[in-house]
Every structure is written in structure tokens, then in C-alpha cells.
Amino acid sequence: MAGKSAFNPYDMARAQFDKVADLLDLDPGTRELLRTPLREYAFGIPVRMDDGKVKVFRGFRVQHNDARGPTKGGIRFHPQETADTVRALAMWMTWKCAVVDIPLGGGKGGVICDPHNLSPREQEGICRGWIRQLAKDVGPLVDVPAPDVMTNAQHMLWMLDEFEAIHGAKYPGFITGKPVGMGGSLGRTEATGYGLVFTLREALKELGIRPDQTCASVQGFGNVSQYAIELYGQLGGKVVCVACWDQADQTSYSFRKASGISLEELRSITDRFGGIDKGKARERGYEVLPGEAWLTQEVDILMPCALENQVTGDNASGIHKRVRVLAEGANGPTTPDADQVLKARNVFVIPDFLANAGGVTCSYFEQVQSNMNYFWEKDEVLGKLDVKMTSAFLAVSELARRKKLFMRDAAYVIAVNRVAQACKDRGWV
């Protein structure tokens, strides 16, 4: 193995936890319990390959903590999956569910395989084999899987089908990420983008800024970004700059229009992956600027909704002094160096695992609807999402204000605290 000091996501997750545990002054027992997963499963999945030979794949499931409810988390197909990666991700799921206060714990699973080397039939074999090995240890009231890296709705349906075949009944609530009409929830596409703006709206309220007097710059033009822009626009806000990736040029561009971009207009000249046609954009009066220009715009709000590590120690200093809020639609868009700059500049950061928790909340709604076998209209889903996101935000920001914590830390603190509390209430520690 590599040197002892090498980067290890599990070590990193535990270090992060230890920091929060210190803040909370958690007792050693609780620390020990929360630092490690409650249960781990590792097993072989024999699959008959297309050429008639049998290959055995390694499968995992980690259930980090279920004090607050059934564990929930994705299943990844990855050729170099390691137990430590899965442990770290399961732990993060626990905190993520807790921060939005949904009654679920954290889990994660996977199979060491590369779907690029597998036919669909072989992948189906892996999915069904995974369920056969775990059928007694997962379930709608125990552990609820979802799609993740290199898995999609198709894999979920195979797994659901196998689970239901084994248990001899229909359990649509066993798995999430199902297509609408097959136990999926409406509003899923909008959930993350809308969730982001729900928290943004509350943040502005707190800062005493009227949304209709703000303008924003957004990085990315995919699902999250487009729905965020839509809802932000409905609140009266004006997006003046959008950055997105150009597949043909293999670089990104920022599209700026001082009078405010038109979502519909840009959508009409955008491909499925959020790439805006720059020629057509110019025709429609947009300035086409370099990809990094979104960050330096004179705006009140920045919404990085594309990739991780976009706001760094190097470029954070270029952020315009007018910027008041940075709402993290993407996962990990801000590096720790940049955090320092933002703190110093007194920019209000809505941390990713709160800001983009709309997705996991909607998964929870899918599970709820599936368990009832009664499905809500989209408005109802989005209304309930608003309630959840708003109260989650309020709790975090209240704590941040009260304890003078950076928002990112406050979010962690509240999440860990909720889980620790549940463990104590159950008398585990």
C-alpha cells in the first residue's frame, strides 16, 4: 500500500468529525460510536458472464448510523472502490440527512467493477446478486439504496425487482431514484436548484436584503443551475452572468448581459449538458467572456453550480467587493483556502451540504410516497421541500449566529449534534 500519510477520504471524514466533536465537546463513547460505521457488509457476487465463465465481484454495504431512521445512501460501481471510501461517504450521508432533519441515517455501498467492461446483462447480474446477498439486511425500514457513481434508474429497478421477488411483495419504498411512474417522485429535477434558492431566500432575508434588488452570477448551466435561476427570477432577482462548458472548444465561457439574462432564451440555445451555443448567444446580445469571468462580476450573489474546487485561494481575491452571499449548488466548489478569504471578506456562505440538500430531501419524499403508495403532485412536493429547506437553514444560521460559527461549521455541528442526541435518546451511549 501507499505511504501512511497518503490521502484517505475516511481519515479526512474522521478528522472533520473530530473537529466538530471538539466543538460539541462530545463524550468519548459517543465519539467512538460516531467515528465508525455501525455495520459493514462485504461479500462476493458470482456472476455468469456472457462468455459462460463465472466471475466473482466484491460487493460492500456500510450502514454508518441508523439512530435517526433507516440508513440511506447510494450504490457505486467503481473499479477501484475501497472500503475506506465507502465508509467516508456513508458517514457524510449521516450528516447530510441530519442537517435537513429528515428521519434517516447514513449508508453507502458499492461493487468493485467497471461498467465499461460489462454488458447490460452482466450488470443486471451484479445488481440482482448484490440484493440476494443483502436481502435480509436492507429494506424500506432498514436501509434504502439509491443510484450513485455509474449506477442509474435501470440498476435501481433491477435491484427493486430482485428484492420484491425475494420478499414476495411490492416494496417501492425500498429504493429511490426510480423513474416517475415506476415509484419515482415528481419534482426531482427541480429539487436541488429550488432547494438552493429556498436557502438563498432565507439568507437574504436574514441579511436584510430584498431579493428583487439583487443580481447574481452563476457557474454552470445544468439542471441545478437552470432551476435555481428560474426560482431566483421568480423572487425578482436578476442573473447577469452564467458560465458554462463548451464541449467543442473544450473550455468554458461566461455569458454576460447587464440587463439580465433570459432563462428561456438561453435554454433554447443550450444542449442537454448545459452547453450554450456561443454564436447564437452573441446574436442575442450576450457578451461572451472567458470561463472564469463569472466569479469577478459585480453582483450580490455567487452561485457555483458546476464542479468542485472552483473557488480557490488563488482566485477568491478576485471576487467583487459587492458580493454578499455565496450559495454552493455544487459539491465542494470552495476550497479551504478560499474559505479563509471569504471569512475575511465577510461573505455569507451557504455550505454545499445544506444548500444542495434538496436532492436528498426529495429522495426522502420519494421513499415516503412509495411507502404510502400514494404520489403527490409536483406542487405538493416542492411546497414540502420549501418547508424542509427553510427550517433546516434557519436552524443552521441561528446556531451560527448564536455561537459565532462559520456557516459550514455550524451546519456540521447541528448535524452531528442531532445524531449524537438520537443515540443518547435511544440509550446507546
Binding site for other proteins (CB under 8 A): 1-3, 5-7, 9, 12, 50, 76, 78-82, 85, 114-122, 149-150, 152-154, 179-180, 184, 247-248, 250-251, 271-273, 308-309, 335-337
In the complex with other proteins, the residue whose CB is nearer, 300 or 339, is: 339
Query: Smallest distance, Å, CB 370 to other proteins?
Result: 15
The answer to whether the CB of 57 falls within 8 A of the CB of 111 is yes
SS3 assignment, position 199 = helix
Query: Smallest distance, Å, CB 92 to other proteins?
Result: 13
In the complex with other proteins, the residue whose CB is nearer, 78 or 128, is: 78
In the complex with other proteins, the residue whose CB is nearer, 79 or 285, is: 79
CA distance 331 to 295: 17
CA distance 124 to 111: 12
The answer to whether the CB of 207 falls within 8 A of the CB of 348 is yes
In the complex with other proteins, the residue whose CB is nearer, 69 or 172, is: 172
Residue 310 corresponds to which cell in the numbers above? 472552483
Dihedral sign, Cα of residue 177, residue 180, residue 183, residue 188? positive
Query: Smallest distance, Å, CB 425 to other proteins?
Result: 35
Dihedral sign, Cα of residue 251, residue 257, residue 258, residue 260? negative
- The distance in angstroms from the start CA to the end CA of the chain is 35
Query: Smallest distance, Å, CB 122 to other proteins?
Result: 8
Is 108 noted as a catalytic residue in this protein? yes
The strands making up 348-350's β-sheet, listed across from edge to edge, are 287-290, 251-256, 238-246, 215-219, 301-304, 325-327, 348-350
Residue 213 DSSP label: G
CA distance 118 to 11: 32
Give the count of beta carbons closer than 10 Å to the beta carbon of residue 415.
25
CA distance 390 to 93: 20
In the complex with other proteins, the residue whose CB is nearer, 169 or 248, is: 248
What lies within 8 Å, CB to CB, of 150 at 6+ separation is 76, 77, 78, 115
Return the bridge partners of 180, or none. 184
In the complex with other proteins, the residue whose CB is nearer, 115 or 237, is: 115
Query: Smallest distance, Å, CB 115 to other proteins?
Result: 4
In the complex with other proteins, the residue whose CB is nearer, 336 or 427, is: 336
Rg of the chain (C-alpha set): 22
CA distance 238 to 220: 16
Residue 120, phi then psi, degrees to nearest 5: -55, -40
Alpha helices in 208-350, H assignment, sequence order = 223-234, 263-267, 278-283, 336-345
In the complex with other proteins, the residue whose CB is nearer, 150 or 244, is: 150
Residue 8 corresponds to which cell in the numbers above? 484517505
CA distance 283 to 269: 11
Residue 184 DSSP label: B
In the complex with other proteins, the residue whose CB is nearer, 63 or 85, is: 85
Residue 113 corresponds to which cell in the numbers above? 467493477
The one catalytic residue in 96, 108, 257, 388 is 108
The answer to whether the CB of 270 falls within 8 A of the CB of 179 is no
Q: Which residues are catalytic?
A: 108
